[in-house]
Amino acid sequence: MLQGARRTITNFPVAYLGRSRTRSIGFLSCCLIRRLQFPRLLLLGVTCHAVVCSLWRPGLAGSASLLHLYSNKSNPEQGYCEREVRLASSLDFWTLSSENLIAVLPIDPVKENYVRKVKNCVFSIAFPTPFKSRVHLVAVSKFGIWADQLWDGRAHLIGIYMNRNGDGRAVLRSSVREFLCSEAMYYLRIPTSRAASLVVSDDAVWRDQFYNGNVVKERGAVVLRVAKSWFRIGSLEILAHYGELDLLRMLLDFIIQEHFPSVDVKEPNRYLDFFSTVVSETAQLIALWMSVGFAHGVCNTDNFSLLSITIDYGPFGFMEAYNPDFVPNTSDDERRYKIGNQANIGMFNLNKLLQALNPLLDPRQKQLAAQILEGYPILYDTRFRELFKAKLGLLGKSKGDDDLIAFLLHLMEKTEADFTMTFRQLSEITQSQLQELSIPQQFWALKMISKHKLFPAWVSQYLLRLKSNMNDSDSERRKRMTTVNPRYVLKNWMVGSAVQKADRNDSSEVHLLQQVLRRPFQKHSAAETAGYSSPTPSWAKDLRVSCSS
């Protein structure tokens, strides 16, 4: 298997193909101290009751690996896997090619598993250690375009979340969270890696979840994830840090040619064009996060994709009660990555990207690149405004739109109203009900805000603004708003409940959440019964997650 260079090498439970190196961290949370850190699994697809084996053809010196998926004889049970992944049943094995990567990017000549630091290469070879106990399939994802991806001849990079202990294992709770959230984000129309499958074993994995000395035994798991690329800002930052400029230029040109079709790789200003695209798309991504109340939790440069997709789901959280200081990661003592600071962290990380690019730029290009970065706040503010105007059903432009949005957020903060359901219930309530300040009990989030003395003033401003919508009706407004304001997001209490059941080999709630989160904008009877659009249960008020979550 191929592993990113300049990381410590150890045994892995699954195949890895992709670049990741010990990173130079600017901002930090749990990752302040350099430690053993391991990459994510990279694989083409998933089949039923399968284990992964790696075969390296002798004499190919860094050529593509063949991944064979053999039937797992220790798991004779039939059922969910066969129903969900029928496309794999007729295949004897699947092949993953890495030729497009290693034909261009250098590979570490050492093909042994031991701790070391390597230079002047992008990949190293690592050999996985399979689970020893029986493996259970928990869930798979139905990709609507999976067939096209499967046969288009390109490598698909997939990974498992690794942890502080350095044993290369993921645990069930973090794997369920990662699997469900990446799928939830996809159906919320937010750029993201995808989750292909989730399996769990009975292998013992020891974890100190909150780093407080309470080490407990947990079950090992594997999440297979898919993305166009796993290269991130840190992938370039580490090369610049060590002065490997030829390799930095080689990797940049490869990334541009493979993933940035709008940029001409032969153009002298290609790095400027590349940087401009990343700046714009990063602003777009973070604005989208904010529009659904999503806090990533660990926004360091190694977790920011160069393709501006959401990757590396760890201590994430969907904000429940509106709070700009919301921090999903209990390891973030300095509140560096609180939800209200994500746009600023985006700017910080883009500045780190610019520092990595600077050695390849001439003085004029450096000046232009700095100007591009200075435009980031405007790009972000513009997109944020567009998204929140859509969430309120506003058409056209008005000078008071920013104030109207800020006014509502202020009321939500003061009343601790639920972020998701406030906007959703504004999408469902009629203008006449609002005008009469008659909030039915079913609109519980709005009813909470209505207790604030300034709520009538906001309602008056809002209804007046809606009158300026040209050729609009109340029914059209509500219909339009329900397409951008989800009724269901993956709140921590929901995934916590699913994890508890999955640990007892009951995957029913994982499957229910999969089904619900595929259509987050549509009302779902089973979701309503489960309370997914209801106030957060009292037992879940103090749920916590950390970097190992």
Whether 470 and 394 have beta carbons less than 8 Å apart is answered as: no
Rounded CA gap, 437 and 39, in Å?
Answer: 53
Amino acid at 340: G
- State the burial class of residue 217 (Cβ atoms within 10 Å of its Cβ: 0-12, 13-18, 19+): exposed
**Residue 100 · residue 231 · CB < 8 Å:** no
CA distances from residue 174 to 51, 183, 215, 313, 540 in whole angstroms, order as listed: 20, 14, 16, 9, 17
Helix (H) or strand (E) holding 177: helix 172-187
Residue 409 phi, psi dihedral angles, 5° rounding = -60, -35
C-alpha span between 58 and 3 (Å, rounded) = 18
Q: Which two tokens stand for residue 479?
A: 């219909």
Partner residues linked to 197 by β-bridges: 140, 224
30 backbone dihedrals φ, ψ, rounded to 5°:
-75, -15
User: How far is the CA of 156 from the CAs of 96, 232, 497, in angstroms?
Assistant: 8, 16, 31
In degrees, rounded to 5, the angle at the alpha carbon of residue 185 between the alpha carbons of residues 314 and 42 is: 60
Q: Which of 108, 167, 203, 302 is catalytic?
A: 302
Q: How many C-beta atoms surround the C-beta of residue 500 within 10 A?
A: 13
Cβ–Cβ < 8 Å for 20, 7: yes
Q: How far apart are alpha carbons 336 and 355 in whole angstroms?
A: 21
Contacts of 362 (CB under 8 A, 6+ apart): none
Contacts 24+ apart (CB under 8 A), 132-135: 132/201, 132/203, 133/74, 133/201, 133/202, 133/203, 134/72, 134/74, 134/75, 134/201, 134/202, 135/49, 135/51, 135/72, 135/74, 135/75, 135/199, 135/200, 135/201
The one-letter amino acid code at 482 reads T
302 is an active site residue: yes
- Helix, strand, or coil here: 40? coil
Longest dimension (CA), the chain: 79
Q: Is 505 exposed, middle or buried (0-12, 13-18, 19+ CB in 10 A)?
A: exposed
From the list 224, 206, 227, the residue with the least C-alpha distance to 215 is 206
Q: Please name the helix (run of DSSP H) or strand (run of DSSP E) that holds residue 317, with its range, or none.
A: strand 317-318
The set of catalytic residues is 302
